[in-house]
Structure 1
Amino acid sequence: MKKYNHKKSVLCFGEMLFDIFPDGRLPGGAPMNVALHLQQHQIPTHFVSRLGEDEEGEALLRYLDERGLSTQWIQKDEKYPSGKVYADVSKSEDVSYEIVYPSAWDFIETTDALKDAAKSSEVFLYGSLAARGETSRATLLELLSLARTKVFDVNLRKPFYDAELIQLLLEQANIVKLNDEELSLLVQWYLGKEASEMHDDDIFHLAEKFSLETVCVTQGSKGASLLSDGILHFQKGYQVSVADTVGSGDAFLGAFLSQMLNNKSAQECLQYGCAAGAYVASQKGATPKVNTQIVRDYFK
């Protein structure tokens, strides 16, 4: 893996919202979750999004303040409401979502200051969901043209994606993180075949097609695979009693990137990410408080 300047910040772009559960609500949104986990792992992190001028927006701003994540790049929208997602957790291993559209985060605007932030950050992280709206998609593509190392968290959410959009976003990326189901779909779309059971060849071929430096594939409780510098690494999963899987992939990615930015080996990054993802799966919600000691306890 190439060397990084861990003193420079990560800029995360995209949705922030409330996940609505049968028994209440919790702050969520994949890029916000990743940003919070990066911050917890001592990586200077900023988050770009947009909120409505409503109670939910104020509550989300308070949440970020309480968690110590900068709100400098959180825009306000007079017309559209803050984001909401209705989560169905009746199957703990297969959470489904109803994502309200449109929401304020579909209308993130480009500013000169934001472009400067993209240029100066060490890593720029983005997902596919924030590209569902024309305004945010245009802003995202402009920032990507300026960013240094670009991390694409594929994070497919029906019905807000298609092969053309995902290809566009893949073509911007240096590093891609996706799960095994997403990999199977991308293999069908872009390689024109059914995915293999082990995925090894699929990962190599996807990386080659899109000139990707790094590809990381999470496989839930089974663990994760990582292609880096032409070598495929694997880390088995850590067994936990699952509370819900909301945000476990985001926890994995935030932890993984924190180790990458501290120039740890590929295997160390993978191990740390899997342990963090397992811990969050054992807790309710996407962003429980976590620290290095909690994660490293899983290694023992």
Structure 2
Amino acid sequence: MTQSSEILCIGSVLWDVIGRSASHMRQGSDVPGRITRLPGGVAMNIAMTLARFGMTPVLLSAIGRDAEGDELVRACAQMGMRTEHVYRSEDLPTDRYMAVEGANGLIAAIADAHSLEAAGAKILRALFNGTLGSEQSPYHGPVALDGNLTLALLDEIAQSLAFSQADLRVAPASPGKAERLLPFVRQGRATLYVNLEEAGLLCQTEFTDSASAARRLLERGAQRVLVTDGGRSATEGDHAGLITQTPPAVLVTRVTGAGDTFMAAHIAAEAKGADRETALARALQAAATYVSGETPL
């Protein structure tokens, strides 16, 4: 990875509406708690963590020209992110994500990223028109990409010359979108960040541990993978070998955004020159700190 602090963050930038309760919940539960609204989306969550680690995220996304979109762009700028390349649509509303979390984890979530999907390749214009790069002069540097884009667009990115020189880091937006990462497995391009369930979907099987999942993804053609399994082992691997570590044991108080925090912390650690083992350890510590964060209820 380059030593530059600039990193492109491509994907969903939206408003997170999160309801959290200290109670265990099930279908139909009606309990007291707190409801918050804050900037979110996979690309945004990654960017926020990268900014805290001293990097400069450059956002490539779709945000509406509605009041919510204007507020979101201001919030991004205040956190040290560059937003001049964001596609601002006149007719597409700003996307939203809604989740409910209990003491027993994520109960349910709905991601409304339809505007991002509808904008399609328009969010990538700066990488093709010469502003940030082009097919003739590809962008050099780190790129964090999330799976909220359409399968067709992700397939185009996996093969495009405009991304051929980038240090591409990719994560699915959710298990339901994990299979959108298949083009990167087939092309042997990018570092993939997935959890155990997502690895199973990509390999059409089930795994009991992160090491076997990482090994299978590499066998299927992946260039490099990081597989997490909640509080259990996490494995980073490429064709030179696997490294497996166990995250610190903590009391989990929130889960939305944990995987994004892990990915961003790993990218930031490598950007600062950390070796593979150190980068994985720092990412696991950052994720553990995040999920154990105090949340008033």
TM range (shorter): 0.7 to 0.9
- Which residue of 2 is the match for residue 295 of structure 1? none
* 8 Å Cα contact 2:218/2:238 also seen in 1: no
Instruction: State whether structure 2 residue 149 is matched by structure 1 residue 130.
Output: yes
Q: Is 1:166 equivalent to 2:181 in the alignment?
A: yes
Q: 1:24 to 1:182 in 2, by over 3 A?
A: same
The alignment status of 1:11 with 2:11, answered yes or no, reads no
Q: Is the 8 A contact 2:226 2:234 kept in 1?
A: yes
Q: Which segment drifts farther, 41-50 or 138-147? A: 138-147
SS across alignment from 2:102:
coil
CA pair 85-144 structure 1, distance change in 2 beyond 3 A? farther
1:183 matched residue in structure 2: 199
What is the CA-CA distance between 1:28 and the residue it aligns to?
0.5
How many Å apart are 1:77 and its aligned residue?
Answer: 0.4
What does residue 90 of structure 2 align with?
78
Whole-angstrom distance in 2 between the partners of 1:8 and 1:120: 14
Aligned residues of 1:14 and 1:105 also touching (Cα < 8 A):
no
C-alpha distance after superposition, 1:28-55 (max 9, x if no partner): 1011111221122122331101111112
Q: Is the 8 A contact 2:63 2:89 kept in 1?
A: yes
* CA 17–113 in structure 1, closer or farther in 2 if over 3 Å, else same: closer
The separation in 2 between residues aligned to 1:106 and 1:92, in whole angstroms, is 35
Equivalent-residue separation in structure 2 for 1:247 and 1:84 (angstroms): 14
Q: In structure 2, what is the Cα distance between the partners aligned to 1:250 and 1:178?
A: 10
How far off is 1:94 after superposition? Answer: 2.8
User: How many correspondences in the alignment?
Assistant: 271
Report what 1:249 is aligned to: 259
CA distance in 2, matches of 1:121, 1:39: 20
RMSD (Å) for aligned C-alpha atoms? 2.6
Q: Which runs of 5+ in 1 are unaligned?
A: 189-193, 286-300
Equivalents in 2 of 1:216, 1:151: separation in Å? 10
Whether 2:123 is the aligned partner of 1:113: answer: no
Task: Report the secondary structure of 2:255's partner residue.
Answer: coil
Q: In structure 1, give the amino acid aligned to 2:147.
A: S
Structure 2 CA distance for partners of 1:138 and 1:269, relative to 1, 3 Å: closer
Q: 1:49 — aligned with what? A: 61
Q: Residue 263 of structure 1 is aligned with which of 273, 276, 280?
A: 273
What residue is the counterpart of 1:230 in the other structure? Answer: 240
- Tell me the percent identity: 21
Report how far residue 85 of structure 1 moved: 1.2
Length-normalised TM-score, structure 2: 0.81
Please tell me whether residue 206 in structure 1 is matched to residue 217 in structure 2.
yes
**CA shift in 2, pair 1:221/1:174, >3 Å:** same
Change (3 A) 1:162 1:39: closer
Q: Which moved more, 1:54-63 or 1:234-243?
A: 234-243
Partner SS for 2:213: helix
**Match status 1:150 vs 2:168:** yes
- The offset of 1:8, in angstroms, is 5.7
Between 63-72 and 235-244, the greater mean CA deviation after superposition? 235-244
Question: Is the partner of 1:94 in helix, strand or coil?
Answer: strand
Q: In 2, Cα distance between the equivalents of 1:162 and 1:38?
A: 23
Q: Is the 8 A contact 2:127 2:139 kept in 1?
A: no
Distance 1:138 1:78, change over 3 A: farther
Tell me whether 88-97 or 5-14 shows the greater mean CA deviation.
88-97
Partner of 2:282: 272
SS of structure 1 residue aligned to 2:114? coil
Residue 107 to residue 100, structure 1, CA distance change in 2 (3 Å): same
Instruction: Give the aligned residue type for 1:250.
Output: D
Q: Is the 8 A contact 1:216 1:224 kept in 2?
A: yes
Structure 2: gaps (5+ residues): 20-34
- In the superposition, the TM-score normalised over structure 1's length comes to 0.80
Mean Cα displacement is larger for which, 169-178 or 252-261?
169-178
Conservation of the 8 A alpha-carbon contact between 1:31 and 1:126: yes
Distance (whole Å) between structure 1 residues aligned to residue 237 and residue 155 of structure 2: 30
| Map of 2:47 onto structure 1 | 35
Counterpart Cα distance in 2 of 1:94 and 1:238:
20
